[in-house]
Structure 1
Amino acid sequence: MTLAYFPRLYAQPDSLAPARECTVRSGLPNFFQKLKSGRPVTIAYFGGSITEAGNGWREQSLKGLQAAYPKSVITHINAAIGGTGSDLGAFRLRQHVLAHAPDLVLVEFAVNDNGKQPALIHRTLEGIVRQIWRQFPRTDIAFVYTLTGAMAPVLEQGKLPVSATAMEKVAEYYGIPSIHMGLEVVKLAQNGSLVYRGKPEEYPNKLVFSTDNVHPYPATGHRLYAEAFARAMQLLQTQSRPHTHRLAKPLTAGNWERAAMASIREVPRSIEWQEITPTTDTVARQLQNRFAYLVKAGRPGAKLIIRFKGTQLGLYDVMGPGCGQYEVNIDGQPARIYPRFDEYCTYYRSNYFLLPELPDGIHTVELTLSNEPLDKAAILQKRGSTINDPRRYAENAGYASQVLLIGELVD
């Protein structure tokens, strides 16, 4: 989860978008036509850990829609991955969302995109929109914003933080409705009825939003999110006639409409790389809900060799106690180091990294598992963690599942 919060959010308040619970724009006409006629619909919930959470606003809002439209069979796709933003989202959209042919895509990345440059958010969000409507021009989209306690000061001023402001620019250009589910949370905190962080037993006369300023309790923060979502849907169901979403000229040059994932199966690799499965490997078992196919190399010098035509490349992989680092060589230039171990690596988690943007063309990238050891104890110490079992940290392995690319693989 990206929690960085920068003073620049306060520096130019006039440049920030106004904070509204629901901005209707072109509404969700195709989705509501199907709902009201009793036809089946599929909703993709696409975001980070706040959306992924069990018994959270995702499941609560789904129950509300099912109760309001009992004649329609409503299927939902949990396409949320904790700790990820719209950048990874643009790459995984086709496999995790579009493969299910959704009628509505709810896009929730404002918290995890907080701290990223607005220009990047414009490119990633527009890439998501254009991918959806390129394949399914009758699918409706809504941008859904959540908050952290650190975002409260700017929201109290009636403004959206930088990340949501950047998303509003894309929403306005394409007529996409947006819902900020946290404004009632801010109001309750302002009048003293709610605290952003704590344990419920510590504040018996107040609502406690979350354990950590970010991830809401189901009965309080998530409930308030779901209630805000329900209010917005009441507004959106009466707006606009069904129509086909037509793609205009792009708002942003170089948007990520070409972003895609390709299986590591398609990439040449040295013999050290071997498939691991949930039945034979504990890491694969822990992450089987993330990776259908995963390979591992534990020996320095193991290589992945990727040729592609496009502008950017990355890897969807694993970080954890037994991970090392890559030496990455792009088009024969001097190698750069990309560690796959950080101060959070007391456990294994899915992760990703992107290489710098390149001129559009054919490129060759070699990723070599480095024999340079990491000072894992010093890295963990940044968060006050210590190595209690050195055996868990002894290996310096690499894991890989998907290639992230803006473009396509070439032979």
Structure 2
Amino acid sequence: MRFFIFVLFLISFVTYSAQAQTDTLSENREFLVRDGLPNFFQKLQKGGPVSIAYFGGSITEAGNGWREQSLKWFQQQYPKTNLTHINAAIGGTGSDLGVFRLQQQVLVHKPDLIFVEFAVNDGSQQPARIHKAMEGIVRQIWRQNRRTDICFVYTLNASMAPSLLAHRMPNSVRAMEEIANHYGIPSVHMGLEVIRLDRQGKLVWGGKKEEFPDKIVFSPDKTHPYSDTGHRLYTEALSRAMQQIKTAGRPGSHPVPKPFVSDNWEDAQMISVQSLTRQGDWQELTPTNDTVARQLRNRFSYLIKSNQPGASIQFKFRGTMAGIYDVIGPGCGQYAVTIDDKTGTLYPRFDSYATYYRSHYFFLPTLDEGTHTITLTVSPELLDKAAILKNRNQTITDPHRYSENAGYASQLLIIGKLEK
């Protein structure tokens, strides 16, 4: 009987311990050291040169935000070190695009440390998809250089607050923690101090600062922090974590265990559409000949556009997944996409936010392993743009800006290999 009770206790303890490994951050721990960032800190102490890549969404992209503030903190801590950084953040994008753009926009610069921030933008994604993308990011980094250090950082918005106030991690953070734990990657939840202040009634999530003179106002929109409040809290949390993490681990090559999920996206790649077969009238856009290309010049090194219904892009590849990195905006229409000559599915490139042009992307359904032929055709079927904008109480004040129904394209996103 005693033995039976002991076995039950042991099972319960192991179960609790496994849960605690991935749920510790919800218990008011800002960070988990795990295997640390030993190569990065060794180079800092030796004076460099050292390069940090900041890889994420709009919260990381923001000027005078936690990215620039934390870089300044590192520079103050290590004033003799030649320290540079890479801003590899793109607003409105998650880890699913990140894993495809990682090589071209991050790894080509050979950073010593990569901060990965996608928790907010992955908030609506299923854990299985987050596992595939985040693990793909980790394995791509260490496939190129196993001495590159990685740190997952988690930001937050108001919609995540109820879970955190109840001492639970948001789903996206939990999924990322499972990958971090599997690979020994340190992680920092930069927003737990925000939650503590919220719980104490000292903070409001959104609004104008002058409207709440006795409170800390986190952000204007409950997501994108003010530099001197939300971003400052993020930076302070990160600096606290770095002070502890800097002594952890031994410099050297990171071990790469067996994959957490066998179908992760380690083989994701981004290929310019310049190499693809085109039919119809397509215009190559440059910052000198087009306002959209000029506006998005930091996003796209190559961009094409067609306003001709029936104009198409076609490619053949062997693999399981494909998508396009493109543009959404006032003059965009929709693509009709056929896969292996099956009836085309429409992919609108206009939404309720399309009062301006922004980079965007979409993926086709996961395919069976094999060779597939994909055709993207500029659809003649018009969208009711006024009705779409009305969903956000927007109106069309300049009909000419919305008159085109064009398709833009920059990069092909695939897991697989192009075939002729």
Same fold (TM over 0.5): yes
Distance in 1, matches of 2:122 and 2:23, equals 16
Q: Which residue of 1 aligns with 2:405?
A: 396
Deviation of 1:160 after TM superposition, in Å, equals: 1.2
Q: Which residue of 2 aligns with 1:367?
A: 376
The 3-state SS of whatever aligns with 1:32 is: helix
Name the TM-score, length of structure 2 as normaliser. Answer: 0.93
Deviation of 1:153 after TM superposition, in Å, equals: 1.5
Distance in 1, matches of 2:245 and 2:280, equals 55
- Of the candidates 233, 240, 252, which is equivalent to residue 261 of structure 2? 252
- Of the candidates 13, 17, 22, which is equivalent to residue 23 of structure 2? 17
Alignment check: 8 A CA contact 2:22 2:177 kept: no
Q: Which residue of 2 aligns with 1:73?
A: 82
Q: Which residue of 1 aligns with 2:309?
A: 300
Distance in 2, matches of 1:47 and 1:33, equals 25
Distance in 2, matches of 1:283 and 1:39, equals 39
Deviation of 1:55 after TM superposition, in Å, equals: 0.1
Q: Which residue of 1 aligns with 2:61?
A: 52
Q: Which residue of 2 aligns with 1:7?
A: none
Q: Which residue of 1 aligns with 2:332?
A: 323
In structure 2, the gaps of 5 or more residues are 1-18
Q: Which residue of 2 aligns with 1:170?
A: 179
- Of the candidates 123, 128, 131, which is equivalent to residue 122 of structure 1? 131
Deviations 1:271-298 (A, max 9, x none): 4112011111111111111111110101
Q: Which residue of 2 aligns with 1:108?
A: 117
In structure 1, the gaps of 5 or more residues are 1-12
Alignment check: 8 A CA contact 1:48 1:80 kept: yes
Whichever of the two has the greater Rg, that structure is 2
Q: Which residue of 2 aligns with 1:340?
A: 349
Q: Given the alignment of the two structures, is residue 153 of structure 1 paired with residue 159 of structure 2, yes or no?
A: no
Q: Which amino acid aligns with 1:174?
A: Y
Distance in 1, matches of 2:217 and 2:22, equals 28
Deviation of 1:248 after TM superposition, in Å, equals: 1.8
Q: How many residues align?
A: 399
Deviations 1:37-58 (A, max 9, x none): 1121110000000000000000
Deviation of 1:246 after TM superposition, in Å, equals: 2.6
Distance in 2, matches of 1:115 and 1:64, equals 32
Distance in 2, matches of 1:404 and 1:247, equals 25
Distance in 2, matches of 1:134 and 1:357, equals 24
Q: Which amino acid aligns with 1:275?
A: E
Q: Which residue of 2 aligns with 1:355?
A: 364
Alignment check: 8 A CA contact 1:312 1:354 kept: yes
Name the TM-score, length of structure 1 as normaliser. Answer: 0.95
Distance in 1, matches of 2:82 and 2:365, equals 44
Deviation of 1:145 after TM superposition, in Å, equals: 0.1
Q: Which residue of 1 aligns with 2:4?
A: none
Deviations 1:97-149 (A, max 9, x none): 00100100100000000021001100000000000000011000000000001
- Of the candidates 194, 198, 206, which is equivalent to residue 203 of structure 2? 194
Q: Which amino acid aligns with 1:87?
A: D
Alignment check: 8 A CA contact 1:264 1:403 kept: yes
Deviations 1:71-120 (A, max 9, x none): 11111000000000000000000001001001001000000000210011
Distance in 1, matches of 2:332 and 2:53, equals 32
Aligned-residue CA RMSD in angstroms? 1.3
Deviation of 1:308 after TM superposition, in Å, equals: 1.0
The 3-state SS of whatever aligns with 1:123 is: helix
Q: Given the alignment of the two structures, is residue 231 of structure 1 paired with residue 240 of structure 2, yes or no?
A: yes
Distance in 1, matches of 2:22 and 2:51, equals 33
- Of the candidates 200, 215, 222, which is equivalent to residue 206 of structure 1? 215
Deviations 1:18-41 (A, max 9, x none): 322010000001100100111211
Deviation of 1:15 after TM superposition, in Å, equals: 11
Q: Given the alignment of the two structures, is residue 287 of structure 1 paired with residue 311 of structure 2, yes or no?
A: no
Distance in 1, matches of 2:246 and 2:107, equals 23
Distance in 2, matches of 1:303 and 1:134, equals 35
Q: Which residue of 2 aligns with 1:43?
A: 52
Q: Which amino acid aligns with 2:260?
A: L
Q: Which amino acid aligns with 2:208?
A: K
The 3-state SS of whatever aligns with 2:239 is: helix
Distance in 2, matches of 1:156 and 1:373, equals 45
Alignment check: 8 A CA contact 1:113 1:163 kept: yes
Q: Which residue of 2 aligns with 1:5?
A: none
Q: Which amino acid aligns with 2:46?
A: S
Distance in 1, matches of 2:251 and 2:103, equals 24
Alignment check: 8 A CA contact 1:16 1:159 kept: no
Distance in 2, matches of 1:67 and 1:15, equals 33
Distance in 1, matches of 2:129 and 2:247, equals 33
The 3-state SS of whatever aligns with 1:385 is: coil
Alignment check: 8 A CA contact 1:331 1:364 kept: yes
Q: Which amino acid aligns with 1:404?
A: L
Deviation of 1:16 after TM superposition, in Å, equals: 7.4
Q: Given the alignment of the two structures, is residue 97 of structure 1 paired with residue 106 of structure 2, yes or no?
A: yes
